[in-house]
Structure 1
Amino acid sequence: MSPEEAWGERWISAASSTARAYMQTAASKQSLVCLAADKPTMAELTELIDAVGPHIAALKTHVDLVNDWTPEAWKIFCGRAKAMDLLIFEDRKFADIGGISQKQMGGIYAIGAWSDLVTAHLISGPDIVDGLQAGWVDYGRSGGVLLLAQMSSRGNLLVPTYTDEVVRLGIEHTGVFGFIGNGSRPEELRALRLKVGSEKMIWTPGVNLKTGDGAMGQRYGDPTEAIVAGSDCVIVGSGIHKAEDPALAAKAYATASWQGLLERNG
């Protein structure tokens, strides 16, 4: 299916090159899945993306969780991901002022050199988005910021008034790719989509084919329901990388997510 058939007017009007890259890959692979690749070694990460790469559209990393990380190994790994047309999404959840956030895009991990997307809280104000964008410019690159508007963990403090303010400020900023929503609560997600409108993306963790409560405060909703409710990408971790057959699991999530888009499109 072509991107225009899959995304309609959103594809035609999309101004963000990062958003267009995602929409094109999602349509090509018929998958609205981002893999949360929470593995502690380079070998495990490489083995995982080699297995599931054909069935996912993006790769979410926590670079500082990799025990044997080196710049050389990471460069090879990112090249491997790019060869599979995967957007690389560093889930750093930046929260500092703009100037510090810009510097944090550099440093030992040089996040601005290889990431296409990063997450951020807006608690310090909208200048954080400018700082992160400047961090990409420092490497001659561009990227997009996903603002945390909702979270799926129990007891989180992202109250509705905070969510509303994040959306209000975020939809006006060209550096904002979109928002993180709560995939475990379709009704909250549906309300978020109404506030966000159609221009910006909503990506959602908190989904699993086995719904319910998980460990350490996590909650899970159904991936198809999340897409129907307004998500543009479901972020899946343990449901794929802890499966007996990760490739088969990734394919199942891809099918579920794509079914959601078809249902949403009517």
Structure 2
Amino acid sequence: MNDETLRFYDEQAKGYSEIRARPIQIYTDRLEREAMMPLVAEARDILDLGCGEGRLTRWIAATKRQQGGAFAVHGADFSPEMIVHAEAQNGDLPATYGVGDAMALPFPDNSFDLIVSCTAPNNFPSLDGALDEIRRVLRPGGIFCATIINGEETARFARYLYYSPYYLAQLAKRLVGGASGYHRVLFSRDELASLLRGRFDVMELTGMRVIPDFIPEFPLNIWPPLFPVMNGLVRATEGLDRRLSRHPRAGRHARFHLVIARALK
């Protein structure tokens, strides 16, 4: 992972929990957890790859503890600062954390039944190489479940409009300070299908989150006094949003791809 990307996420760690408390992020967390719940219930050894400050890792650990039985939950992230925050917020939950590079995972072959990764794959230096590592540490038949930012998202044009002051400020900063080395790659559905082919048996490849990204996130999802308005809009459109996300055509242009795939070994 390049230094600029690492610096970005180390800085983000300080306020990442506040960002995840915004209405659209809460809705996204709920969609992710619904998709993962049956997978988590069936798995014993689970890795949250790109765990950030550990929000999903904590939910998995709490879910498994409530379920009972033997299990192990681990969160890995390339940002040391994120791991510090994850450990600080973990409390007595049965989860462990450590710095980990998706390109060279610090685990033996066949270590996990389930690997989850929410938007982190867009920051991997090479998703192609990371998928080899993910398959390596999954047991035969193990599951990879991820949300991956879509390179063909239609709502990005709306975002360019309502976030135009932010993008102009970022452009000015780059012109003054030089090009940013921040690494994030977006993928179309066809590109993802091609990368997974031969490594994984794809069980599900659908869209996630369509309508909320057409709603002006700035300021409705940024300014806390307006959160009730955004929450109301998300609730009012949720049924349609779910149908569009799974539609064969509309879902290809959602904010995220939802990937559920079984390792081929």
TM-score in same-fold range (> 0.5): no
Larger Rg: 2
